[in-house]
Amino acid sequence: MKMLVLGAGLMGYAIVKDLVKDESISEVAAIDINTQRLRMLEESVKSEKLSTIKMDVMDKNSLLKLMKKYDCILGALPHRFVLHTSKTAIEAGVSLVDLAFEEEQLDLDGEARKNDVTIIPGCGVAPGLSNMLIAYGASKMEKVHEAYIRVGGIPLNPKPPLDYKIVFSVESLIEEYISPAKIVKDGKIIYVPPLSGIEVFTDPELGELECFYTDGLSTLIYTMKHIPNMAEKTIRWPGHAEKIKVLRELGFFNTNPVKVNDENITPRDLSIKLFSDKLQMKEDDKDLTILIVDVIGLKENTQIHCNYRMVDYYDPKEKVTSMGRTSGFPCAIMARMLVKGDVNGPGVIPPELALPPSKFEEFTRELAKRNIIIQETITALKSLS
């Protein structure tokens, strides 16, 4: 197998680290516009299988020519590039597994089928693993009433002022804080304000945490219409949401320029710069990822609750962030399974539809080999007979 990775940031790094270890993969190429990131990737991975290429993915002709040389493409780029790279992969006739999801990708289904290409959007930890766990829990029930996701990447040792470190694209992070969140209530899609619905809860391993609504249901809104109640919340250390609300209300995330000393400055661009400088993960920083998925429904006239819980930590030996592990490894595993013919397709196939239950169990065994463990607890709540 020959794999092409788009992007050499934290996520791309984790994907490449995983792919080069696979004996069935003969070549891994990574592209990025940033020469320094590519150099760091080469120095960190140190594999003869790896080649790096400086390229602007918006250079369609060069990207198209390169894509045609590979068996599968793995996307680890910011959201603004997702639709373009998906369209280019379809034109190249090569399947793609992407960490990010944009609704416009769903419109590419017909063209992907026509070109015998499979596009799997949003295949990281959330969206991605979260979606698959909801589908897996739902497969154990005759009727599903509720499905909820709580997920977050947070520092192991939180520090002021925000008790947070950036573990993925800062642009995507700020978007989470300003975009209304879609949830499903009583069978209807409704919009709730971002950072609303703050819930404080205690995790048995991590202690007190908070979570709040974010727009993370992604494709579940379209693929799981039979579930009348669904929502996703982002997990942070307590107090984070209120601090971000203050910044938002003061206008730090606004996109309209303001004049400062005869210079026009966009507050959001300034915030992106300051967040990147002050909150970026450093070499001595450690992160963790927590994912909790709850699915409630009926089986044989009994109400049951399927709970899935995963807590993952920074890998000091491999120097891979937990967010990189829990996002990049699912993407890498799915790409392998796609090339081997284990994934449903062709077309634009959301992760929750990509694998039947038996194949998803194989998927989780692969995660377990990488020490990403998902705990399943099934509880009978009450009998309705």
Q: Phi and psi at residue 147, in whole multiples of 5°?
A: -150, 125
User: Given this model, what pLDDT does residue 382 score?
Assistant: 76
User: Given this model, what pLDDT does residue 285 score?
Assistant: 85
Same domain (yes/no): 117, 191: no
DSSP 251: T
**Residue 351 falls within a domain, yes or no?**
no
Same domain (yes/no): 138, 117: no
Which residue type, as a one-letter code, is found at position 118?
A: T
**pLDDT(342) > 90:** yes
> Average pLDDT for residues 359-385, to the nearest whole number?
92
Same domain (yes/no): 171, 109: no
> Average pLDDT for residues 236-249, to the nearest whole number?
96
Confidence of residue 384 (pLDDT cuts 50, 70, 90): low
Token pair of 240 as six digits: 């984070």
Same domain (yes/no): 214, 174: yes
CATH code of the domain containing 269:
3.30.360.10
Same domain (yes/no): 184, 111: no
**Residue 345 falls within a domain, yes or no?**
no
Same domain (yes/no): 149, 289: yes
Give the domain extent around 107. 2-121
Per the structure, how many domains does the chain have?
2
**Residue 74 falls within a domain, yes or no?**
yes
**Residue 310 falls within a domain, yes or no?**
yes
Q: Considering only residues 279 and 84, tell me which one the structure prediction assigns the higher pLDDT.
A: 84
Same domain (yes/no): 183, 318: yes
User: Given this model, what pLDDT does residue 359 score?
Assistant: 97
**Residue 340 falls within a domain, yes or no?**
no
pLDDT digit string (tens) for 60-111?
999 999 999 999 999 999 889 999 999 999 999 999 999 999 999 999 999 9
Confidence of residue 385 (pLDDT cuts 50, 70, 90): low
Share of the chain above pLDDT 90, in %: 90
pLDDT digit string (tens) for 142-185?
999 999 999 999 999 999 999 998 877 788 889 889 999 999 99
**Residue 330 falls within a domain, yes or no?**
no
User: Given this model, what pLDDT does residue 381 score?
Assistant: 80
User: Given this model, what pLDDT does residue 170 score?
Assistant: 85
CATH code of the domain containing 67:
3.40.50.720
- Could you tell me if 344 and 267 are in contact, meaning their C-beta atoms sit under 8 angstroms apart? no
Same domain (yes/no): 172, 257: yes
Confidence of residue 317 (pLDDT cuts 50, 70, 90): very high
Between 6-20, 75-89, 154-168, 307-321, the lowest mean confidence (pLDDT) is in: 154-168
Same domain (yes/no): 108, 135: no
**Residue 140 falls within a domain, yes or no?**
yes
The last residue of one of the domains, among 71, 90, 121, is: 121
> Average pLDDT for residues 16-37, to the nearest whole number?
97
User: Given this model, what pLDDT does residue 220 score?
Assistant: 97
Question: What is the Cα–Cα distance from 331 to 129, expressed in whole angstroms?
Answer: 9
Share of the chain above pLDDT 70, in %: 99
Same domain (yes/no): 313, 239: yes
Token pair of 134 as six digits: 């909801």
The last residue of one of the domains, among 121, 140, 160, is: 121
**pLDDT(279) > 90:** no
- Which residues have a Cβ under 8 Å from the Cβ of 262 and sit 6 or more positions away? none
Same domain (yes/no): 190, 310: yes
Same domain (yes/no): 15, 35: yes
Give the 3-state DSSP-derived string for 97-118, with helices as H, strands as E and coil as C. EECCCCHHHHHHHHHHHHCCCE
The last residue of one of the domains, among 95, 121, 147, is: 121
What is the chain's alpha carbon radius of gyration, rounded to the nearest angstrom? Answer: 21
**Residue 65 falls within a domain, yes or no?**
yes
